[in-house]
């Protein structure tokens, strides 16, 4: 019986792009993390993010509380992300009053 040497690996790293101005402008950071790893935002981005998005092939959850705490508001998004976190709703139902601009403190991403 023939054998195959095909090595199928899921990506070991997810990436997210965060910016402190709308439309992915201003100060931006492209941050790597392990899939499902909760990443607390450093001082240069904590409560300062105005646009956020994962790289293609990833899906991220963003939290207003540190440590990916679901006891407060959070949202999820795939590529290309959200260019303006002040616009409501952000992945919420019509009429939602969620505004996530300058409120994010942590996130985690997974591969699609």
Average pLDDT, the chain: 86
Alpha-carbon Rg for the chain in angstroms: 16
Domain 14-111 has CATH 1.20.272.10: no
Question: Would you list the domain boundaries of the chain?
Answer: 14-111
| Dihedrals phi, psi of 53, to nearest 5 degrees | -170, 145
The greatest distance separating any two alpha carbons of the chain, rounded to the nearest whole angstrom, comes to 60
Residue 1's pLDDT band (boundaries 50, 70, 90)? very low
Pairwise CA distance, residues 15 & 100, whole Å: 20
What is the model's pTM?
0.83
Q: How many CB atoms lie within 10 A of CB 50?
A: 22
pLDDT tens profile 5-41? 433 345 689 999 999 999 999 999 999 999 999 999 9
**What is the reported pLDDT for 3?**
45
**What is the reported pLDDT for 30?**
98
């Amino acid at each position: 019986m023939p054998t195959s040497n095909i090595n199928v690996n899921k990506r070991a790293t997810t990436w997210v792009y965060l910016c402190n101005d709308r439309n992915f402008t201003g100060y931006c950071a492209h941050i790597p993390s392990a899939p499902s790893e909760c990443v607390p935002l450093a001082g240069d981005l904590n409560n300062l993010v105005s646009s956020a998005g994962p790289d293609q092939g990833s899906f991220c959850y963003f939290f207003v509380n540190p440590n990916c705490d679901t006891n407060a508001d959070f949202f999820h998004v795939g590529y290309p992300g959200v260019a303006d976190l002040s616009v409501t709703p952000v992945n919420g139902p019509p009429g939602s009053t969620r505004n996530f601009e300058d409120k994010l403190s942590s996130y985690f991403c997974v591969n699609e």
